[in-house]
Amino acid sequence: MVKAKKRLGVLTGGGDCPGLNAVIRAVVKTAENEYNAEVIGFFDGYEGLVENRFRPIDMKDAPGLLTRGGTILGTSNRADPFHYPVLEGDDYVHLDRSNQAIFNFESLGLDVLIAIGGDGTMAASAGLAAKGLRVVGVPKTIDNDLAGTDVTFGFDSALVTATDAIDKIHTTAQSHHRVMIVEVMGRYAGWLALGSGLAGGGDIVLIPEFPYDIEAVCDQVKLRKSQGKNFSIVVVGEGAKALGGEMVVQRRVKNSPDAIRLGGISNRLASQIEGLLNVECRVTILGHLLRGGTPSAFDRLLATQLGVKAVHLAMQGEIGRMVSWRHNEAESVPIDDVAGKLRLVTPKHPWVKTAESIGVCLGVPAGISIEKYLTEMVHQ
Ligand code: F6P
C-alpha cells in the first residue's frame, strides 16, 4: 500500500512581528524538500483551527516570504480555544472550543500542528497538547519574554528599529538641550528598552522589572548637566512604573486573554521630570513601528533555523515541544515547561551589569545595588 503523504498544519498567533513569514517559508521548504510532506496554513491563529478556515501552502508561496513583514496567514490575539469569544446578542460569551479545534485537526488528516506564537499561543498549545493534539511550538515576540529560549525571533528586528529611532532622537536632544524620552513596547519585560537603550547610548533606561526612583532619574540629568552635557536620552519600557506607582494602562481589549494594553508612561515621566527640574522634555512613543517591516538578518537566520527544527521534530514524532534557541543552536523544550511563564530581566543579567559599569542610570539611586534596592525599597 502506498503511504499517504504526511500533512502538517501551521498557524501564527498573537501579535505579529518580523520573521513570521520566514518561519512559514522554512516550514514549507523543509516539509517538501526533506519529507515530501504537504502543509496547510490556518488563518488568524487558533481562530482558523476552531473555525476550520485554512488554505494549502506550498513552494509557490515561498518567493518573497523571507523578507516580508507580518504574516501571510493573519493572526489574532483573542482566539484562545479554551476561552473562545462568541457573539451572543450584543455581547461576547466565552466558550470552550478546544474539542472543535481537535476535531478539525483530525478531520483534515493532519499529523502535527506547528503553532508559531508567544506566551498566549504556547499556553493554548500546551492545553491542546494535554488533550491529545500533536503540536510543536515556535517562539516569536518582539518582547523576548518567553521562557525556555535565550531569544525569540522578532526581537532583534524590533531592537534595530528602536535603536535607529534613538539614534535619530539624539540630534534634537543635543540641538535643543532637552530631555528626550523614547518609549518602547515590551509589555512586562524590559528586554527591548534595555537592549535599545544600551545600543542607542541612552543615559537613563527604565524597565518594568526595576520600578524607578524619580529622584535618581533627576539626579542623572543633573549630573550630566554638571558635566557640561545639556541633554539626556531616556529609554523607557511601556511597562515601567515609578516606585510605589502603577503601570500606565492605555486600554483594555475585550476578549483578549491578557486584556491590558500598556502605553503612556513616558508622558507621566515627562511631567514628573519637568515638575522637579527646570528642563524641557519631549516624548516619542514608538509603539507598533517596532512590530513592522522586514526582519533583520539575525531574525531571518533565527526564524529559518527554528522553522526547520520544528519540522524535524514534527516528523520525528517529538511533539508537545517548543523549539528554542539555546547555546547557539536550535533545541527544544517541553511546551508545558514554558506555558504561562515569563522570562524577565534580572539584576544579574550581563546587560544590567554592563549598563551599571558604563554609568547608565536604571532608575536606582547611586551607591545602592539593584538587588538591595529591590529588596529594601520595592518589595518591602
Ligand atoms: O507582545 C507584543 C506587543 O507588541 C507588546 O509589546 C505590546 O504590549 C502588545 O503586543 C500590543 O498589543 P496590540 O497589538 O494588541 O496593541
State pLDDT tens for residues 158-179: 999 999 999 999 999 999 999 9
What confidence score (pLDDT) does residue 379 get? Answer: 73
* Cα(75) to centroid(ligand 1), Å: 13
Cβ atoms 323, 137 nearer than 8 A? yes
Q: Does the beta carbon of 143 sit less than 6 angstroms from any atom of ligand 1?
A: yes
* Cα(262) to centroid(ligand 1), Å: 8
Annotated binding-site residues for substrate read 141-143, 178, 185-187, 238, 282, 288-291
Query: Whose Cα sits closest to atom 8 in ligand 1?
Result: 187
* Cα(293) to centroid(ligand 1), Å: 15
Q: Does the beta carbon of 220 sit less than 6 angstroms from any atom of ligand 1?
A: no
Alpha-carbon torsion (244, 248, 253, 258), positive or negative: negative
What's the average model confidence in pLDDT over 346-360? Answer: 97
* Cα(43) to centroid(ligand 1), Å: 19
Q: Does the beta carbon of 119 sit less than 6 angstroms from any atom of ligand 1?
A: no
What confidence score (pLDDT) does residue 191 get? Answer: 98
pLDDT at 201 over 60: yes
Q: How far is residue 346's CA from residue 240's CA, in Å, rounded to a whole number?
A: 14
What confidence score (pLDDT) does residue 153 get? Answer: 98
Annotated binding-site residues for Mg(2+) read 119
- The closest-lying atom of ligand 1 relative to the alpha carbon of residue 239 is 8
Residue of 74, 56, 72 whose CA lies nearest to 24? 72
Domains defined for the chain, CATH in brackets: 7-153+295-337 (3.40.50.450), 158-291+346-378 (3.40.50.460)
Give catalytic residues, as residue numbers.
143
What's the average model confidence in pLDDT over 58-87? Answer: 96
What confidence score (pLDDT) does residue 378 get? Answer: 75
Within 13 A of 278's CA, how many CA atoms are on the CB side?
0
Q: Tell which wins on pLDDT, 197 or 377.
A: 197
* Cα(294) to centroid(ligand 1), Å: 18
Q: Does the beta carbon of 141 sit less than 6 angstroms from any atom of ligand 1?
A: yes
Please state, rounded to an integer, the average pLDDT across all residues of the chain. 96
pLDDT at 139 over 90: yes
Residue of 354, 379, 378 whose CA lies nearest to 365? 378
pLDDT at 2 over 70: no
Q: Does the beta carbon of 287 sit less than 6 angstroms from any atom of ligand 1?
A: no
The torsion of the CA quartet 371, 246, 281, 220, rounded to 10 degrees, works out to: -20
What confidence score (pLDDT) does residue 254 get? Answer: 83
What's the average model confidence in pLDDT over 307-324? Answer: 98
Cβ atoms 362, 352 nearer than 8 A? yes
Q: Does the beta carbon of 186 sit less than 6 angstroms from any atom of ligand 1?
A: yes
Alpha-carbon torsion (162, 165, 170, 173), positive or negative: negative
Could you tell me what percent of the chain has a pLDDT over 70?
99
Cα distances from 102 to residues 89, 113, 128, 356, in angstroms, run: 27, 10, 8, 50
What confidence score (pLDDT) does residue 282 get? Answer: 98
Helix, strand, or coil here: 361? strand
What confidence score (pLDDT) does residue 3 get? Answer: 57
Annotated binding-site residues read 15, 78-79, 118-121, 141-143, 178, 185-187, 238, 282, 288-291
pLDDT at 90 over 90: no
- Taking only the tens place, the pLDDT of each residue in 229-270 is 999 999 999 999 999 999 999 999 888 888 999 999 999 999
- Taking only the tens place, the pLDDT of each residue in 93-129 is 999 999 999 999 999 999 999 999 999 999 999 999 9
- Taking only the tens place, the pLDDT of each residue in 260-301 is 999 999 999 999 999 999 999 999 999 999 999 999 999 999
pLDDT at 187 over 60: yes
What confidence score (pLDDT) does residue 311 get? Answer: 98
Cα distances from 235 to residues 55, 172, 188, 265, 362, in angstroms, run: 42, 15, 15, 11, 10
Q: Does the beta carbon of 265 sit less than 6 angstroms from any atom of ligand 1?
A: no
What confidence score (pLDDT) does residue 1 get? Answer: 55
